[in-house]
Structure 1
């Protein structure tokens, strides 16, 4: 997990705090979620199936939560952009996290895996 910890610590505030909070929020959604370091980013797995990941959007300059099976979700907070499978949720680290929306999106996504 050293690479994962380093990734978080290398981010500048408020992005670092946002990523750390999202990490905890995601893991709190289900006991079967686990974090791994893959493709130089934090990736979350549900029972060994890739579930979501955290990354930084270069165009919008915002962190985002990417849901692997996002195409199956219909939520106004999610963007498909040019992706065919994944949808993302942009997070503004200068504002309070939209906890209710984040948890709602994560629970909808988890329902696809259960």
Structure 2
């Protein structure tokens, strides 16, 4: 639902809201086949209908993060696994400029995996 998707961003406090909105724009600008959807009660980004990544706020650290669905297949120092089997996340400090080169590198690798799986 678009309402739930919009509300997710709108209910976030600043600067988390701005960070998440910037990340949404960066993700959507990676490829015209990436769509923003509301799945599993979170903002999910899909490539040609297949889950690619998502945005969320870490429960204990209270930091926004980018979750990569097939993150276990990506080796990048900015990605952490925590206690996940398949996904890795990239945490952000909402008070600091986003590391655009790292984000785009990770998204590019995630897209390559998605294209191969599609």
Q: TM-score range by the shorter chain?
A: over 0.9
Q: Give the equivalent residue in structure 2 for 1:64.
A: 65
Q: CA deviation at 1:38?
A: 1.4
Q: CA deviation at 1:2?
A: 1.4
Aligned length: 114
Q: CA deviation at 1:60?
A: 1.4
- Segments of structure 1 that go 5 or more residues without pairing to the other structure are none
Distance 1:92 1:39 in 2: 25
RMSD between aligned residues: 0.7
Q: Give the equivalent residue in structure 2 for 1:110.
A: 111
Q: Give the equivalent residue in structure 2 for 1:50.
A: 51
- Segments of structure 2 that go 5 or more residues without pairing to the other structure are none
Query: What TM-score, normalized by structure 2, do the two folds share?
Result: 0.94
Distance 1:110 1:39 in 2: 21
Residues 31-56 of structure 1: CA deviation (Å, up to 9, x unaligned): 11001111221000001101110001
Moved over 6 A (4+): none
Query: What TM-score, normalized by structure 1, do the two folds share?
Result: 0.97
